Amino acid sequence: MRLVLGTLFIVGTPIGNLEDLSLRAARVLREADLIAAEDTRAAKVLLAHVDALGSGDDRRNPGRRVISNFEGNEAERADQIAEVLRAGRRVAVISEAGMPGVSDPGAYAIAAAIAAGARVEVVPGPSAALAALVGSGLPAERFTFLGFPPRETGARRAMFGTLRGEPAAMIFYEAPDRLAATLGDAADAFGAERRASLGRELTKLHEEHVRGTLGELAARYAAAPPRGECTLVIAGGTAAEPAVDVEAELRALLAAGLGPKDAAARLVVRTGKPRRVLYQLALALQRGG
């Protein structure tokens, strides 16, 4: 007897405005046997809206269950989801907002469904990254999505250093309390005059797109940190960045009175090279004169 497997639906949900929920997404959520939600409280609000849209034969599945599926438990939830799929049921995965699997839980469930041989169906929805990119007014023919920058300053500066020659527009998510530091590091890496845009509270009542240079945005948000969810878009480079003569730069910094540790830290963001490598070279230069 051939086993009939269920379907895993990866459902994009509104990033702020409930009117952005598609008819298809609403139907899938009503019909699902199991909904794996990143935030069950946010899911409750969304599902109340979804169920209110249904009528007659379009009512929700009376046996529908909702379980949590967040960063701390998504690995173990994947096994549970696979079992439900093997039983021929329909499972929907939703994040708190946006598309599961993109800077949100979802990857484990998708991998488990594929391993089980179940069908995976993506239901597209609103995207903060694309909304911010389009609203930025920056060239959007080529872009790269990079998620959240590293929290640790050194790692964040090193990452920006590796992107100095990137020709495509770069899109980042960032927490409001870390935005000023991130903008400062980006200005150091790409130049204070590089164009950028900060999309805030996208699709919500207080949505705004603040456009300017990285230097201007860094100064603005250092003085007054923003509120709400932030998406940063940085213009790509227009020409190949000149190569940095690492040894010459380190010699100059050491001659200016900086120690090897501080000299290495200065060059991390400009070169993308690991701090330890730069530090060892600075030590060797200091000893060798």
The full set of domain ranges for the chain reads 7-126, 129-234, 246-288
- Cβ atoms of 105 and 78 within 8 Å: the answer is no
Residue 101 has pLDDT above 60, yes or no: yes
Q: 100 by DSSP, 3-state: which?
A: coil
How many of the other CB atoms lie within 10 Å of CB of 21?
20
Residues 6+ positions from 133 with CB-CB distance below 8 Å: 140, 143, 169, 171, 233
For every residue of 223-278, DSSP letters joined together read: HS---S-EEEEEPPPSSPPPPP-HHHHHHHHHHTT--HHHHHHHHHHHH---HHHH
Q: Which numeric CATH code is attached to 7-126?
A: 3.40.1010.10
Q: Can you give the pLDDT at residue 57? A: 59
Percentage of the chain surpassing pLDDT 70? 95
CA pair distance 57, 59, nearest whole angstrom: 6
* Section 146-166 average pLDDT: 91
Q: Per-residue pLDDT for 53 more than 90? A: no
pLDDT of residue 1: 46
- Res. 165 pLDDT band, cuts 50 70 90: confident
pLDDT of 13 > 60? The answer is yes
Q: What is the pLDDT of residue 238?
A: 77
User: Strand pairing of 34-37 and 65-68?
Assistant: parallel
186: Cβ–Cβ under 8 A, 6 or more apart, which residues? 160, 194, 196, 214, 218, 232, 234
Span 215-270, pLDDT tens digits: 999 999 999 999 999 999 999 987 655 667 788 888 888 888 888 888 888 787 77
Give the residue-averaged pLDDT of 183-208. Answer: 95
User: Tokens for 58?
Assistant: 């379009």
Q: Which of 36, 98, 102 is nearest to 70 (CA)?
A: 36
pLDDT at 276 exceeding the cut of 90: no
The CA-CA-CA angle for residues 21, 141, 15, to 5°, reads 20
State the average pLDDT for the chain.
91
Predicted confidence band of residue 62 (pLDDT cuts 50, 70, 90): confident
Looking up tokens 């190569």, which residue turns up?
A: 243
CATH architecture of 129-234: 2-Layer Sandwich (3.30)
Q: pLDDT at position 7, please? A: 98
DSSP state letter for 177: G
Please name the residues in contact with 229: beta carbons below 8 A apart, sequence gap of 6 or more. 15, 128, 173, 176, 200, 201, 202
**Contact at 8 Å (CB) between 183 and 247?**
no
DSSP H helices, the chain, are 23-31, 40-53, 74-86, 107-116, 128-136, 153-162, 179-190, 214-223, 246-255, 260-271, 275-288
Residues 7-33, mean pLDDT to the nearest whole number = 96
